[in-house]
Amino acid sequence: MWAIAVAVVMAIAVALPAPSASAADSSESVDMYRLYNLNSGEHFYTANKTERDGLESAGWIYEGIGWKAPVRSSTPVYRLYNPQSGDHHYTVNANERDMLVAAGWRYEGIGWYSSDTNRDYPLYRQYNPNAVAGSHNYTLNNNEARSLVNAGWHDEGIAWYGVGGGTSVPLPQFMRPSGGAYPNLATVPNLSIEVSIAAQRVYVRSGMNTIYTMIASTGMNNSTPRGTFRVQNRGGSFYNAREGMGANYWVSWKDWGVYLFHSVPTDVQGHYIVSEGRKLGRPASHGCVRLSIPDAKWLYDQLPANTPVTVH
């Protein structure tokens, strides 16, 4: 069924009606909220604040206002849901809507409206042929659209039109680098790592100079060992059934796989636990040192074995 549904979506071009003399948007607009599911890769769009807040409570990442839509126009945007993949799809094309319903998608009604007359705020549509969920992206940002197309997504043109711009919000700390661009650790002389339990920070040092600072979460109840250690082995991921958590991008600094630098936690399915990620910056682990996802990957990729690690 999924293959059929994808074929249906790809078979239909996005067809927007041309503005007419009688077409008119309502004078009022509504904010369109954009959310992101870190684990499925799906972006979700809604004008409903209650739905937005419920998804954020369930672990979705709120990304801000994507655009402003007219409260009403003659061009509805239809919302559909694929119960097999968990994916949503949005279209102004009634034929596309009907073919997806015939292929097993659920029609969820009119999500919002496209502008009949304003062409200043086009929403660009891209398709990822390799994704199961989150296979389509819709964005007001042409730079985002071009970036995805350059990365292999298919450009599907303009999906609909808004009547105003959006306002983004920063990604949660656990999803972004702590301090901007990363230095190349292979070129750093006298490299060492310092972990401050009091500050909940990890300092990357070149001799006496700090060259990068990362926000961290050390162990609850003083469970992170203090002392001087060295980087040992590493791995892509692990899961601890006793704790009910795992993580990605781990680098051991004590007892060969017991005490680690690693990403914020994952669950048994390998999905990031957003509620745990939001604890970054305060003691939350069972003794390891948690880092943001990109910070942990950077150390996993670049931190040389035998690098000194001091914890105090």
pLDDT in tens, the chain (312 residues): 444 444 444 444 455 555 444 456 767 999 999 999 998 889 999 999 999 999 999 999 999 999 999 999 999 999 999 999 999 999 999 999 999 999 999 999 999 999 999 999 999 999 999 988 889 999 999 999 999 999 999 999 999 999 999 999 998 999 999 999 999 999 999 999 999 999 999 999 999 999 999 999 999 999 999 999 999 999 999 999 999 999 999 999 999 999 999 999 999 999 999 999 999 999 999 999 999 999 999 999 999 999 999 999
What pLDDT does residue 14 have? 52
Residues marked active site are found at: 262, 288
Per-residue pLDDT, 2: 40
Query: How many other β-carbons are positioned within 10 Å of the β-carbon of residue 223?
Result: 13
Quote the CA–CA distance of 13 and 45 in Å, as a whole number: 21
pLDDT of residue 16: 53
pLDDT confidence of residue 5 = 44
The torsion of the CA quartet 294, 298, 300, 302, rounded to 10 degrees, works out to 170
Burial of 119 (0-12, 13-18, 19+ CB in 10 A): exposed
Amino acid at 263: S
3-state secondary structure of 249: strand
Q: Is 0.85 surpassed by the pTM of this model? A: no
What sections of 77-212 are H helices per DSSP?
94-102, 142-150
pLDDT at 131: 84
Burial per residue of 140-172, b for 16 or more beta-carbon CB atoms within 10 angstroms, e otherwise: beeeebeebeeeebeebebbbbbbbebeeeeeb
Dist CA 203 CA 196 (whole Å): 8
